[in-house]
Amino acid sequence: MPFVTEYNKNLIYKKLSKKKIPDNIYAWEPYKTSIFFLNRLDKTNLLYFEEFCKNPLENIDSIYEGFVAVDNQEFVFEGALPSYHKSENCNKLGSGFVNYKIPKEIKFNGKIDEYRNWFKENIKIFSKSPQIYQLRLQTKFGIKEGLQQVDYKNSGNVYKENLTREEIEMRLDSLLFNAAQYYNRNIERQKVIRKYKKATFLAFREDALKDNDTGFSDEEVKSILRLYYKLFIEPTVYNLKEYFKSIHNADIEINEKIFKSLNFKKCSYCYSEENQQNQDLISERNKSLVTRFGDYIFPIEPTNFHYKKIVNSEDRIAFIYCRVYRLINDEINLDELGEFKYYKIEFINEVNKYIYAITKIYLDEAIDIKFFRKYLTKIKHNNKNGNFEFITYAIEI
């Protein structure tokens, strides 16, 4: 079974629908409980995804369009088709991507192709000595503008779980309950959610908000909406898709035929003859974790908590991966291990409920933490008083 990043999977499941939005789409309910924050596009994509689940290979051509690469002439590397991978352990599947903005003068003078070719020839020089690169850039094109590097953190591959319909429903019910609690907890925040709950995409745009009468600044509104989208809307849509798969008994993890029909290309790394012998990167990573933290189990699947009793104490310890989503404040705290700050994390517990907790992240780890991504977290539970303590490390799933 081929693999793609979650971002590229969404290119298929969300952005490439051929179908029009039905006039009565708001009347359609994808779940047994009404979900008030789904907008017309969310519901439309879910409606056609369910249709796709009924017969994936037969319906793919009528529902989804092939991907078309677009070159906006903004970056050096642009206009390529997305890739699919042979193995979920492929280095390219989990690696980030670095791109570089094309200088304004280059675009103005119509020398984009010449600059791209020259840049690719000199990229090794830039990585070793940016100063020499900048001097050569000025000599070649007469440009003093500094190089703008853009780092794209790969969205990664999500661990594939084999959940029952009941387990998926438990997760959906938990998300909807938590979303209601989040809404009810703050009267002022309710104004933002009521006004923009079906337009959370505005949080990811640089444009000023129109008719913002919430009492919050535009940036404050966008911050609330980003959190609301990431914590509730995005996982709800994901779990609804899993829900449809379970209803229709659809083992539809996209196969190679579907990728080819959508114009995806094979990963040149993991499909190459030189890389036919696959390495188990997860196993190798876990060996290094045992060396650092001790003889614990480090599961990548959620809901698996392998606690180990600490000798001569009331404590037990387990490791899981939690999603870090917010810094509580800038206050620096100190304990016997060093300086740290408190952050908010999210994880799914053993009974498929979404849980939010407070974790410590030490300053030397915090510099590598990106919000809304999953990192290794140590849970210490005291059997006597029932207290939990969380420490998160900059080790990503």
pLDDT per residue over 193-214, tens digit each? 999 988 898 888 888 898 899 9
pTM of the predicted model as reported, rounded to 2 decimal places: 0.75
Per-residue model confidence as pLDDT tens digits over 322-356: 999 999 999 999 999 999 999 999 999 999 999 99
- Confidence tier at 297 by pLDDT (50, 70, 90): very high
What type of residue is 26? Answer: Y
Q: Give the model's pLDDT for residue 121.
A: 80
Choose between 61 and 225: higher pLDDT.
Answer: 225
Q: Give the model's pLDDT for residue 233.
A: 95
pLDDT greater than 70 at residue 107: yes
Mean pLDDT of the chain: 82
Beta bridge partners of 390: 379
Per-residue model confidence as pLDDT tens digits over 303-324: 999 999 999 899 999 999 999 9
- Confidence tier at 62 by pLDDT (50, 70, 90): confident
pLDDT greater than 50 at residue 277: no
Q: Give the model's pLDDT for residue 278.
A: 45
Q: Give the model's pLDDT for residue 146.
A: 66
Q: Give the model's pLDDT for residue 274.
A: 54
Query: How crowded is residue 270: how many other Cβ atoms within 10 Å of its Cβ?
Result: 22
Which fold is adopted by the domain 281-396?
A: OB fold (Dihydrolipoamide Acetyltransferase, E2P) (2.40.50)
pLDDT greater than 80 at residue 160: no
Q: Give the model's pLDDT for residue 371.
A: 93
Range among 25-39, 71-85, 97-111 rated most confident: 25-39
> Where do the CATH 2.40.50 domains begin and end in the chain?
281-396
